[in-house]
Structure formats: structure tokens, C-alpha cells
A and B are shown apart, each in its own frame.
Chain A
Amino acid sequence: MNGYGFRHAARMERIKLTSVRSTWWLAVAAVVAMAGTGAGVGLGYRSHTPVATAAQILNNSLGGAIAAQLLLGALGVLIVTGEYGTGMIRSTLAAVPRRRTVLAAKVAVCGGAALTVGLLASFAGYLAGQLAIRGTAIPAASLGQPAILRAVLLTGVYLGATALIGVGIGTIVRHSGAAIGTLFGLMFVPMIVAGLFGESGIQVGRFVPLLMLLNSISVTAPIPGLFAGWVSALLMCGYAAVAVLCGGFLLRHRDA
């Protein structure tokens, strides 16, 4: 065998990710946030008149993704900035000097973990919402319906992409507080800006992550003017790719 490769770096990253508590806290918090929101929404609709539709229940019970995206985004940031803050990065780069290999391993491991947790959280939100309306006149939203299943799956994909945007921003900024601040800013500020444009804001808004999540990805049908759910989800993956590529360029050329 002629030297280490991606496989070895990925194994290192997997051990590193699972051996700090913050990973587990953030993952559990993301699932709990979505399940809690789903249950809350379901309970709220029980006494609602007129009787809510299945689509309404689903759209709203996935609302916990707003919190989950911040938690999983922070997870992605910390995978990188946690190393810069502690000096661990020097151990990592001494073990694997090819920096693009390190970043690729982080993207694969973090992306896989965040996608898994994101899907779990999304299903938890859906399930909690459905359980909370059991025995009422509100029609159940079955995962057998393509529109329902798609919304739940794409919400998970959105959450995984958010974590990778976090990895990219973390690699660019290198400081935990500044990187998490930047990520949160990028999530919320464009939405406020899009709002300033009034009616024509939708032209901009359909490219804004949070608006895509709430109006295109986590709903049974996108509101007029926004892209279809899968287009929005792909757009998020595109943002993540841009963030990671920028981070990779800087990682290669800066001193550690």
C-alpha cells in the first residue's frame, strides 16, 4: 500500500466526531426540537375550527426545522472551528498533510451524520404531529402520499446541506463564535432583506434558504413564485458546495 488516503482520513474524522459530547447534544437537540414542534402543532390544531387539512398539519409540524437547521449548522461549523480553537488542527494536519483530503473527509462524515440526523428529526416532527392529532376529525397525512413523503425527505436533505454550509463557513472563518454568527446571519438576514422588496421580494426570496425551507421544501406544495421542493433542496446543496470549495481553497493556501 502506498500511503494513506481518503478512507483513513474519513475513519479519523468519524472517531473524532463521535468522541465529543457536543456532537450528541446537538443531534439529540435537533431531533427533540422537531418532535416537540410537531407535537405542539398537532395539539394546537386539535381544537381548531374549521378542521385543519392534512397539508396544513404537515407543513406546520415540520416547522421545528428552523431550530434544527441552526443546531446542525452549528455542528458543521464546530467540526472545523473546534479544531482551530483547541490546536487540534495541527495534530490533524500533521497526521494527514494533504489538506483537501482532510476537508473531503470532514464533508463526507459530517454530511452523512447530519443527513441521518436531519432525516430522523424530520420523521420525528412528522410522527409527533400525526400522533398528536390521533382520534380527531383531522385527516391523517400518510407517508404513502408522494407529496407528504417528499416534504419529509427533502427537509432532512435541507438539514444535511445546512451542516455542510457550516463546514464551509467554519473552514473560511476558523473561529467558532464568528463562524456561527456568520451562519446564523446568512440564514436570517436575507429573509428580512427579501421582505423589504414587498411583492417583488419573491424573485429574491425563492433563493433564500429559510424561505425555501418554509415555503417550498417542508410543504406539500410550494407557494406560487417559489421553486419546486427538489429544486430548492438542490439549490441548498449548491450553496453548500460553494461554501466548501471556498473553504478548501483557503485551507490549502493558509498557514495552519
Chain B
Amino acid sequence: MIELRELTKRYGRRVAVDGLSVQVRPGVVTGFLGPNGSGKSTTMRMILGLDAPDHGQALIGGVPYAKVAWPLRTVGALLDAGAFHPGRSARAHLTALAASNDIPGARVEQVLRTVGLSGAATRRAGTYSLGMRQRLGVAVALLGDPGVLLLDEPVNGLDPEGIRWIRDLLRGLAAEGRTVFVSSHLIAEMALTADRLVVIGRGRLLAETTVAELSAGADSLEDAFFRITSQATDYRGVGAS
């Protein structure tokens, strides 16, 4: 369970996350939706203690991330697909992270198989395609067999097969009783993957609902999304003329 209490982050005068209070429950996939720049990534970074909130707190099972005894065995995170050294092999990258949380080496081979990178495990990660990097990021998230998964735009760069694989993987993890919190700006994909939705705009909570409820009053989930975010979108293009 992830609990955000009045979570607030300012960068200078700009407020990136504004008094966000949300509970993310176990057993279902919770989608985290919002336009570009709405504060999704900042929120995720604060949950992991990478950025310090100016106000409020983010708790994992009741404690801040920094106080968790075995972080990787508690929370698995995919923040961005590039969070590795390009000169290090996928296996060495995973082995190093496993060592930090006393995770056995056999688990490294297991997650490499799960994400389909066993054959490329000795290659330097810098030579990977975007999809393979994303798979390595998922392998890191799964490494500690955690009860909470936090994924920021996991389908970026994946091919259709990879997208379906992620979807099935996340739904399977949630069905095992884990807490799965996935951000995305792809509404159609969220409609297929998520059960619950947390929608934010300009750092504020706009809706905390289920996919079924949100799309009930509109033609499509996409229309419903535009309706609730219409007042809270900072970056919007106009038609070229």
C-alpha cells in the first residue's frame, strides 16, 4: 500500500505537486494519469525518496521509503529506462543491485529470463535498443520480488508484443495481491491495464476513480480524460496553419 499525504513539491516558484493525497491499494493495478508536466514523475521520485517533498509525506506500508529495511524487496521501481551505466552488462547491473539488498544471485538469472534478456545479459547495456532498456528496467523492478511496484511510463519504446507482455505482467502481479502503481499518458493503454485510476493535473488530484466509472458518462475514456484535465493542462499545441 502506498499512501500520499498532502504531498507537495516546489521548484522555485513553480509548484510541481500540490497537496496530493492518495491511497494506492494492493490487489489492483492503479493507473496514474495526467498531461505532460502534471507532476507524475516528481510524485514517483518523492515516493522513492529521490526528491524531498517540501510538505507532506509519502509512505510505503506506513513508513517513509528511507526507513524501509530492504528497499528493493519492498518496492520495485522503474523510473526511467536509462538508469544504468552504459558500459556495464545487464547481468553485472542486476548483480550489483541484488548485492545491496542481499538478494541471491539465482534471482538475477530468474528476472533476466522473465524479461527475456538472458541471451543479451553479458552485452553492455549501452548497446541495447529502447525496448531492451525498458526490459532491463522492469528486471530491476522485479529483482527483489517486491510487494509494491512503481512504474513510470513502462510501455515507452516497447513493441506491440512488449506492450501486451507488460500488461499481462502487471495484471498478474496485482492478482497476486501486490500494489501496482503505473503512470502513463496513454489512456487507451491504461483502459486495458488498470482497474483504478488516479488523475492529476498541475500537481493536483483531479479524480480518484475506476476505469468503469470514469468512462461511464462519456463516449470514451479519452473524452472523459480530456473533460477532467481541460482546466489543468499546461502544454497544449494548436493546429498548424
* Chain A contacts to B: CB under 8 angstroms: 1-4, 8-9, 11-13, 15-16, 19-22, 82-83, 86-88, 90-98, 255-256
Q: A8-B102, A95-B71, A256-B45 are in contact. List 18 more A-B contacts (CB 8 A).
A: A4-B69, A4-B71, A4-B102, A11-B100, A12-B99, A15-B92, A15-B95, A16-B88, A16-B92, A19-B88, A19-B89, A19-B93, A90-B79, A91-B97, A93-B50, A95-B97, A255-B51, A255-B52
Given contacts A8-B102, A97-B65, A255-B51, contact A86 B79 (CB under 8 A): no
Given contacts A19-B88, A256-B51, contact A87 B99 (CB under 8 A): no
Majority SS at the chain A contact face? helix
Q: Which residues of B contact A20 (CB under 8 A)?
A: 85, 87-88
Q: Please, which residue of chain B has its CB at the minimum distance from the CB of A96?
A: B100
Q: Which residues of B contact A256 (CB under 8 A)?
A: 45, 50-51
Q: Kindly provide the distance from the CB of A96 to the nearest chain B CB, expressed in whole angstroms.
A: 5
Given contacts A4-B70, A20-B87, contact A93 B49 (CB under 8 A): yes
How many B residues touch the partner, as a band?
A: 35 or more
Q: With A and B bound together, what is the CA distance between A54 and B68 in angstroms?
A: 59
Of the A-B pairs whose beta carbons lie under 8 Å apart in the complex, a sample of 5, sorted by A's number, is A4-B69, A16-B88, A95-B101, A255-B50, A256-B50
Q: With A and B bound together, what is the CA distance between A101 and B89 in angstroms?
A: 25
Residue in A2, A16, A97 whose beta carbon sits within 8 Å of that of B49 in the complex: A97
Candidate in A15, A93, A98 with the most chain B CB atoms within 10 angstroms: A15
B186 at the interface (CB under 8 A from A): no
Q: Which residues of B contact A1 (CB under 8 A)?
A: 102
B66 at the interface (CB under 8 A from A): yes
Residue in A19, A95, A255 whose beta carbon sits within 8 Å of that of B72 in the complex: A95
Q: Which residues of A contact B88 (CB under 8 A)?
A: 16, 19-20
Q: Please, which residue of chain B has its CB at the minimum distance from the CB of A17?
A: B96
Q: Which residues of A contact B95 (CB under 8 A)?
A: 15, 19
Q: Which residues of A contact B65 (CB under 8 A)?
A: 97
Q: Which residues of B contact A4 (CB under 8 A)?
A: 69-71, 100-102
B194 at the interface (CB under 8 A from A): no
Q: Please, which residue of chain A has its CB at the minimum distance from the CB of B137?
A: A91
Majority SS at the chain B contact face? loop
> What 3 A-B pairs are tightest by C-beta distance, nearest first?
A3-B69, A19-B92, A12-B100
Q: Kindly provide the distance from the CB of A100 to the nearest chain B CB, expressed in whole angstroms.
A: 11
Q: Which residues of B contact A13 (CB under 8 A)?
A: 96
Given contacts A11-B100, A12-B100, A255-B50, contact A91 B71 (CB under 8 A): no
Q: Kindly provide the distance from the CB of B194 to the nearest chain A CB, expressed in whole angstroms.
A: 23
B83 at the interface (CB under 8 A from A): yes
Q: Is the CB of B50 within 8 A of A86?
A: no
Residue in A9, A86, A96 whose beta carbon sits within 8 Å of that of B85 in the complex: A86
Q: Is the CB of A16 within 8 A of B85?
A: yes
Candidate in B51, B68, B82, B88 with the most chain A CB atoms within 10 angstroms: B88
